[in-house]
Structures are given as structure tokens and as C-alpha cells.
Amino acid sequence: MAGRWHSDQADHVSRDVVIPLDRLDPAAVTAAGGKACALAALAHAGLPVPAGAAVTTAAYTQYIAAAGLRERIALELSRKDFADMRWEEIWDAALRIRNLFLTTPLPPRLRERLARGLGERLTVGPVVVRSSAPGEDAEGASFAGLHESYVNIRGLDAVLEHVRLVWASLWSDAALLYRRELGLDPRRSAMAVVVQELADGRRSGVCFTVDPRDAAHGLLEAVHGLNQGLVDGTIEPDRWVLDRDGGRLLEHAGAEREQWVRPTADGVRVEPLPEELRSRPPLSDDEADTVYGMARRSEDFFGRPQDVEWTFADERLTCLQSRPITTGAEAGDDRAAYLSLRRSFDNLVTLRRRIEEELLPQMMREADAMAGVTLETLADDELYEEILWRRGRYEHWIAVYSVDFIPFAHGVRLFGRLYNDVVHPADPYEFTDLLGSGPMASMQRNDELESMAAGLRTGVSIDASLEAFLARYGDTSWGTTTLAGQRETLRHLIGELAAAAPADEPPTAGPVRERRDAAGTQARAERFLAQVGESEREHAREVLDLARASWRLRDDDNVYVGRIEGQLLGAVAEARRRGTLPGAELDRLAAPLHPAVVGRPGTSAPAAAGDDAAGEPEADAAEVRRPGHGEPRAVRARQLLGQPAGPGIAVGSARVVVTPEDISGFRGGEVLVCDAVDPSMTFVVPLAAAIVERRGGMLIHGAIIAREYGIPCVTGVPEATLQIVTGDRVSVDGHLGIVVVG
């Protein structure tokens, strides 16, 4: 997206900020968006539509012009070329932008005009607040599901806050990615919002006037209660298939009716379905006919097949929405892949159970079994078989990493959004302060090294402890080998730790860094939960718990997979010693794999440019010749931009770590500069003044460890290990995401 942002062109259409649906010209899509105009059209056609109003794009434009918000959004997206951002980095920016919308108040005059325009009807009783973007539901580009909707909102303040959240969804990760793919510039997009009376539907559903599975049929789906459960897939509907030619009912497939979605005091909730409704289909056959008939009227009116949302409120059939059916081919459906990157809460709870109860224990058992094999006693052909088997397991676990572990990290993001929606904090990443409650594997290891360092300080011999440490963790992967051979490096690190006595001021500028402590974290969590509404508190607690598990796992899974990799490398090393297998073959079997960010199995991975694999270094990073510290360089980076992944500011001498050999030179107080923090590098984090990573993301492994240790961290710095040279003096500003070199 090259080019500059221009202030909005004069809108020759009305500058009204609110237009009631019954006065909205259905052609005014630029002002009111697709959804509002479709509803206005349906009302004109005589279909029953709940009363409501459109908050126009003019309102959005006025809002973002206030308080420099438009430019604040631009600055958030300017840290690097949008085309080079990974999905994670886009999500991170989207969270920050969303928080801008939450913390930037409406200008008083605009607020007043909105209140007046919405009137009492829409600011007292319960309403739905939904996106209505121009271009949404248009031919060739369906934004369905990408922007946001909120159900059962009451009161002016809540309505206006949710209008802002719908505006913010123009800048969500999925919306940004989808627009990037379509070649649309979000900076030229605007958002309108529909505010409508909530139809308290006892029976609701959707109707496709043309069945996606068979063009000769229509398809009707219905549930008890509100539509939400059906639309987001948590509640299975009853289904009716009808013959388009004549409208005859062909088939009714009942569902297991166990739950329904009902409004609560301040939202909606999935509840168990009352006993007497479980055996009753949401619609009688006659009612199914009536609903289908209404949907066909919409199709006739619009002249194209329609996807119609409907409900029976007070026993009156009401049309909630009607939009053209988009086929998979038309939508191009990488949209589905983007949506699948974010997992729902229920999905993640299931995934957590599988990870904690099946996958991780299984990985541990396999690693233990491998460790139990005495490689030297294997015959040559047995050794070869063992290597092949270990390679197979390594590939398997890397695939699991991609498909299960990486998506599980989304638990952290779910919590982040919830926290920010409740608290409206100044720092949109403050929520991470609530997450580190359990011991992380790498920190536990580091604590053992710290104990040995304490021993050294008092003159105690650490030989036995070190041997025990190596025995326990020796199979951790270390570049192309394992930790087992790193006795000297570990001695050096322990020595460095001993030299930096814990009570000392760190040799850097800025406040003394603090390692996170469990008591403080718990206190923060309690304060947050107290702010959550009563009816939502239990859910918030569950989301927090899930997020903590996700947070912990980001470190732990690295450690566990590192062991498997280490066991593979150990076997390969034995084969090399024997010299019985060709070197090239061994190289192939030992070649590292990098997990990739993929959509759900069955969906295509997002093909977005810049979406590099989670752990894959930039091409040739290890092979490029790096200038020495004193060598003249014609081109020098002076200030590098990245993401502010760990707050604080620190100054120190850079130590660029490309291969694990580089770790053996690490001195206390240096700044770790790397492509991405891997299991071998976590050992130096307690010594480091700050961390700089090429890989981007606020919530990547290196950022998490940096926050746990309270040191500044900047991520997403392109070519970090090429732009910075070991020995360069660097200042790392973790508040702004800037690294100053020299």
C-alpha cells in the first residue's frame, strides 16, 4: 500500500451522522453501508424489519479526524512495510488500534448529534450494533464475518462504545489481511454501523434461497433462541430442504437440541435448552414454509439468491438481514483461512486438554525413551533405523507444533482483547502482566544455573551440580548438536551470572528491572476480575486461565521439541563418529525444520506476502558475511524500528547470536541480538540487558521471556542480525520499539 493518506473528500451526499432506516435511501451505500441499505430496501419491499438507524460513514470520518486518531492509526501500521508483516504482527497492530478506539472519546459535538439521531428508542431498550461497511456483501468481495456485531446492548454509553468497537473492526487483523489480498487500501475505507432494536427471538435461523449443496433446492436452518449460536457454529440447527420449484418441503433433519443462546443482562449466553423444547423442532412445517416464502420474496426483490437471517420475536416473523449468497469461488476464500487463524474459546479449551493431557506427555515419553537408548551399543544398521525413526518423530512433532501449538497461542490474544475491552488501559499490552503465574520450563532451568552461580560466589564447587544439570537437560538441542557437549559454555555462563550479583544495579540506564513475581501477578488478576460485570466474571476467569496456559506453553513447547531434536542430533552425531554413513545423508537427516503458521487443517494457509514461517530465518542469514566491529561500513543503521515487545530502556554492547557458538562469548549486560530466541539462547536471557529479534510479534517466545525477566525487548526488526554488529553500542527502547545503534 504505497502512497499517502488524504483527508476525506467532501461528501456531496448528506453529512448526517445518523439516518433512520425508514428514511434511508437504499442507494446510499457510501454513506450507510451495505447492510443498512439492504435493511432499508427490505423495509421498502414490505418485509418485516426491526426498527433501527444507520450511523453513517460521515460519523466515522469525523471521529478519526479528531484527536489525531487517523494519524495514530497510520503510525501503528508504519513500523515496517505492511506487505512484510506476518499475521502475528498485523494482529498485534490491530489490538493496539482497537485500543485507540476504546481510549479515544467521541468529540462532544459528534456525541451529541449521535445521541439525538439515535433517539430514545435505540438508547434505552436492548439493541444490536452491527457493521455496515460500504463494499461489505458486495459482489466479488464478501466481508461477512470479518467485521463485528454486538447483541443486546443497552443504554447510550454502551451503544456508543460498541459503535466505536465496530468502527475499530475495520482495522482487525482479518479485515486488514483480506483488504491487502484484494488490493484495497484500508485507509480509504470507512465504516457505517447499524443500530437496531433487538428482536428477542424464541426461534431464529438462516435461510439460503439456493442451497449451496444443490441449486435446485433451498436450505433452511433454525434453532431455539437467538441466532448467535447458529451463526458462530456453536449450536447445531435443525435443517429443512425445500424444492425451489414450487416450494415443497423435501426433508427435515432434526438436531440434538441441547442448548440455546439467550440475552443476559449485558450480553448473550449459551444456556441449556429447557426440557420441554428439546423434543420440539424450532419450526413447524408450516412455519418453515412461511420463512422460506419470506426469503424468496427477498430474493425476488433483490434479483439474486439471498442468505436471509430471520427470527420469530413475539411470535412475529422478522427479517434480520439479507445478503447475496457468495459462493466459495467468488470469495476466493483465503478469508476462511484468516478467520481460522483465530480460534474460538471453546475450541481452545478442547485444544488445551489435548495438548496438556495427551500431546506433551507423549512427547516427553518419547524423548525419555530415546534418552534411554545407549547409542554406542547399537549395531550400524540398528543405529540407522533409530535415526530414521527419530527423524520421523521430529517431523511429526514439528507438524504438531504448527497445527496445534501455534494456534493454541491464540488463547493469549483472546484474553488480551477481553482485558482491553473491560479496562481500556493506556498500554494495550499491559494484560501480559497477568499471565505469568506458573513456572516456565526455561526459567526453571535458568534458576538452576542461578543456584550454581550463587554457589560459585560463596566458593562452593559446582562440578557435581553441573554434571547433574547436563544429565537432566543434556538432550536439549543446541544448534546442530546438543547441550550435553556444552560444559565449557555453561561454566562460562555460570561464571558471568556469578559476577553479576543479584542485588547490583544492572549496568544499564533506566529503572532497575524486576522479574515478575507470582504474588503481584495474582493481585493484578484479582483487580481485573473485580472490574468485570458479574454475569461475565466466570467466563473472564476461564479466559484468563486459558491464556496463562497458552503463555506457559509458548516456552514449554520449545523446550520439549528441543529435546526431541536433541535426541535426533545425538544419534546423528554417533553415526558421524562411526563414519559409516555418507555425510550428505546425515546432513539431510539432521536438517532443522521450522514450524509454519497454517490455517485449520483443511483450509489453505494464508498466502499473504511476508507471512514467513514462525521460526524461519531470513534467507542466508547464517551464510552472509558480517562486518567486524571496527570495519568501516558505508551503510549503517542508526535507528531501527520494531515492535515494543518488552517495556523498559537499556544500553549495552550488542552480542549478535547467529549460531550457538556465539553464545559462549556472551558477557553480562550485553544486548542479545538474534533472528529469534531459541531454546539454546534462553540461557543467556538472565544475563542480557535487552533483547532484539528479527522475528516479529508482541507475543513470541523471546518477548515472553523478556517480559518475565523484566528486560526491554524489541521484535520485528528486519535484518537485525545484519544491521547490528557484535560490539556495537545499542540503546533498546522497549516502550517505543526503537533500537538506536552507535
Partner 1 sequence: MQREEIEAVLRELFAAQRLAVLSTQQDGRPYGSLVGFDAADDLRSVVFATTRATRKFANLMADPWVALVIDSRDNRESDFHAAVAVTATGASREALGAERDAAAAHYLRKHPALKSFVDSPTCAMVVVDVDTYYLVRRFQDVVELHMRL
Q: Does residue 635 interact with partner 1 by CB under 8 A?
A: yes
DSSP secondary structure of 56-82: PHHHHHHHHHGGGHHHHHHHHTTSS-G
Q: Does residue 636 interact with partner 1 by CB under 8 A?
A: yes
Q: Does residue 343 interact with partner 1 by CB under 8 A?
A: no
* H or E element, residue 562: helix 534-578
Per-residue cell: 742: 552507535
CA angle 599, 603, 609 (to 5 degrees): 60
Q: Of the candidates 386, 28, 8, which has an alpha carbon nearest to the alpha carbon of residue 188?
A: 8
Q: Does residue 79 interact with partner 1 by CB under 8 A?
A: yes
Q: CB of 636: closest distance to partner 1 in angstroms? A: 5
Per-residue cell: 658: 547467529
Which is nearer to partner 1, 503 or 635 (by Cβ)? 635
Inter-residue contact 14 to 31 (CB < 8 Å): yes
Q: Of the candidates 706, 683, 677, which has an alpha carbon nearest to the alpha carbon of residue 617?
A: 677
Task: Give the count of residues interacting with partner 1 (CB under 8 A).
Answer: 25
Stretch that binds partner 1, among 75-83, 289-297, 345-353, 414-422 (CB under 8 A): 75-83
Which is nearer to partner 1, 88 or 733 (by Cβ)? 733
Stretch that binds partner 1, among 74-82, 336-344, 511-519, 651-659 (CB under 8 A): 74-82
DSSP 8-state assignment for residue 27? T
Q: Does residue 10 interact with partner 1 by CB under 8 A?
A: no
Q: Does residue 109 interact with partner 1 by CB under 8 A?
A: no
| Residues 639-678 close enough to bind partner 1 by CB under 8 A | 639-641
Measure CA 603 to chain center: 17
Quick note: the x/- pattern for partner 1 over 418-457, rule CB under 8 A, is ----------------------------------------
Select from 108, 372, 582, 632 the one that contacts partner 1 (CB under 8 A).
632
Q: Does residue 624 interact with partner 1 by CB under 8 A?
A: no
Inter-residue contact 134 to 147 (CB < 8 Å): no
- Furthest-apart CA atoms within the chain: distance in Å: 93
Distance CA 589, CA 585 (A): 6
Give the Å distances, CA to CA, from 261 to 131, 222, 225, 234: 21, 12, 5, 10
Q: CB of 7: closest distance to partner 1 in angstroms? A: 7
Measure CA 291 to chain center: 38
Distance CA 42, CA 301 (A): 8
457 Cβ partners below 8 Å, 6+ apart?
498, 501
Stretch that binds partner 1, among 67-75, 346-354, 448-456, 519-527 (CB under 8 A): 67-75
Q: Does residue 293 interact with partner 1 by CB under 8 A?
A: no
Q: Does residue 78 interact with partner 1 by CB under 8 A?
A: yes
Q: CB of 623: closest distance to partner 1 in angstroms? A: 17
Which is nearer to partner 1, 6 or 213 (by Cβ)? 6
Stretch that binds partner 1, among 347-355, 356-364, 514-522, 628-636 (CB under 8 A): 628-636
Distance CA 32, CA 190 (A): 10
Q: CB of 276: closest distance to partner 1 in angstroms? A: 60
Q: CB of 638: closest distance to partner 1 in angstroms? A: 4
Distance CA 200, CA 185 (A): 38
Which is nearer to partner 1, 52 or 696 (by Cβ)? 696
Q: CB of 358: closest distance to partner 1 in angstroms? A: 45
Q: Does residue 586 interact with partner 1 by CB under 8 A?
A: no
Residues forming a β-bridge with 141:
138
Distance CA 125, CA 130 (A): 16
Which is nearer to partner 1, 353 or 636 (by Cβ)? 636
Q: Of the candidates 55, 50, 26, which has an alpha carbon nearest to the alpha carbon of residue 114?
A: 55
Q: Does residue 406 interact with partner 1 by CB under 8 A?
A: no
DSSP secondary structure of 370-399: HHTS-GGGS-HHHHHHHHHHHHHHHHHHHH
Given the C-alpha cell 503463555, which residue does it identify? 551
| Residues 707-736 close enough to bind partner 1 by CB under 8 A | 736
Q: Does residue 253 interact with partner 1 by CB under 8 A?
A: no
Q: Does residue 64 interact with partner 1 by CB under 8 A?
A: no
SS3 state at 713: strand
Q: Does residue 7 interact with partner 1 by CB under 8 A?
A: yes
Which is nearer to partner 1, 68 or 583 (by Cβ)? 68
Q: Does residue 627 interact with partner 1 by CB under 8 A?
A: no
Q: CB of 9: closest distance to partner 1 in angstroms? A: 14
Stretch that binds partner 1, among 156-164, 201-209, 617-625, 634-642 (CB under 8 A): 634-642
Select from 44, 70, 111, 491 the one that contacts partner 1 (CB under 8 A).
70
Stretch that binds partner 1, among 4-12, 300-308, 368-376, 704-712 (CB under 8 A): 4-12
Which is nearer to partner 1, 4 or 12 (by Cβ)? 4
Which is nearer to partner 1, 255 or 736 (by Cβ)? 736
10 Å CB burial of residue 478 (0-12, 13-18, 19+) is buried
Select from 27, 75, 124, 253 the one that contacts partner 1 (CB under 8 A).
75
Q: CB of 637: closest distance to partner 1 in angstroms? A: 5
Q: Does residue 188 interact with partner 1 by CB under 8 A?
A: no
Q: Of the candidates 318, 296, 321, which has an alpha carbon nearest to the alpha carbon of residue 309?
A: 321
Give the Å distances, CA to CA, from 46 to 199, 207, 264, 308: 18, 18, 31, 15
Give the Å distances, CA to CA, from 31 to 12, 19, 113, 114: 10, 9, 16, 15
217 Cβ partners below 8 Å, 6+ apart?
210, 211, 241, 242, 243, 244, 250
Stretch that binds partner 1, among 210-218, 335-343, 426-434, 632-640 (CB under 8 A): 632-640
Per-residue cell: 256: 440434538
Q: Does residue 738 interact with partner 1 by CB under 8 A?
A: yes
Q: CB of 737: closest distance to partner 1 in angstroms? A: 9
CB neighbourhood size of 629 (10 A)? 11
Select from 4, 12, 213, 625 the one that contacts partner 1 (CB under 8 A).
4
Q: Does residue 633 interact with partner 1 by CB under 8 A?
A: yes
Quick note: the x/- pattern for partner 1 over 529-558, rule CB under 8 A, is ------------------------------
Q: CB of 670: closest distance to partner 1 in angstroms? A: 23
Residues forming a β-bridge with 150:
129
Which is nearer to partner 1, 588 or 633 (by Cβ)? 633
Q: Does residue 83 interact with partner 1 by CB under 8 A?
A: no
Pure H helices in 458-517: 463-473, 487-499
10 Å CB burial of residue 487 (0-12, 13-18, 19+) is middle
Stretch that binds partner 1, among 116-124, 415-423, 568-576, 627-635 (CB under 8 A): 627-635
Per-residue cell: 357: 493431557
Which is nearer to partner 1, 93 or 493 (by Cβ)? 93
What does the binding site for partner 1 look like in residue numbers (CB under 8 A)?
4-7, 68, 70-71, 74-75, 77-80, 632-641, 736, 738
